[in-house]
Amino acid sequence: MLTSLIGRVVLASARYPLIVLILAVALAAAALVYCARHFAMTTDTAELISTKHEWRQRELAYEAAFPSLQKLTVVVIDGATPELAENAAARLAAALASKPERFGSVRRPDGGPFFDCNGLLFLSPDKVKATTKGLLRGQLYLAALAADPSLRGVLATITTSVPFITASRLGQVTFESSVATSSAQPRMLSLR
């Protein structure tokens, strides 16, 4: 019975090819219209999950409460040295900020004008102590360099500091004596 039905369809198709072609095109057009109206494709992964689930509704409420955390592009920059990475991050942030039509806002959570002025506030207490001690140890040299930041000032600072460093390694100069001497004219110390 099935073979006779298939045979009759094939025979009718062979006998009336133009009608079969028109019917095939009409069916294809109807399928195309149906697909265009009923099927949609999106690349947004948030749209792929139904909003009827309770956890999905909580997620949507969270996104509505914190819109600044949505549609983010995060860039992690690594470099051979911290200075190179900082330079690359600053250049990239400036380049992206110059295109506001493509990037609504550009932020550097680890840098910018605020961190340039207040960066030490965000170090751990141990690192702040170590940095402060280092600045205090170099205070005399930094003051001399601030007074004369030219090559002449650098060489003068080196000339006056070498005897102090050598003598302090031998135990002949204390911090107090170097402070008292540094305020006067530079002089050579005896290493006897």
Q: What pTM was computed for the model?
A: 0.37
Confidence band, pLDDT 50/70/90 cuts, at residue 39: confident
pLDDT for 169 equals: 58
Answer yes or no: is pLDDT of 25 > 90.
Answer: yes
Express each pLDDT in 101-138 by its tens digit.
Answer: 888 888 887 777 777 777 767 777 888 888 888 888 87
Q: Is 114 in a helix, a strand, or coil? A: helix
Give the burial class of 161: count Cβ atoms within 10 A of its Cβ; 0-12 exposed, 13-18 middle, 19 or more buried. Answer: middle
Calculate the average pLDDT of the chain.
79
With CA atoms as reference, report the closest residue to 70 among 95, 46, 102: 46
| Residue 50 and residue 56 in contact, taking contact as beta carbons nearer than 8 Å | yes
Confidence band, pLDDT 50/70/90 cuts, at residue 192: very low
pLDDT for 120 equals: 66
Which residues lie closer than 8 Å to 68 by C-beta, 6 or more apart? none
CA–chain centroid gap for 80, Å, is 16
Express each pLDDT in 138-188 by its tens digit.
Answer: 777 778 788 888 888 888 888 777 766 665 555 555 555 555 555 555 555
Give the Å distances, CA to CA, from 54 to 59, 60, 93, 187, 192.
9, 10, 39, 80, 84
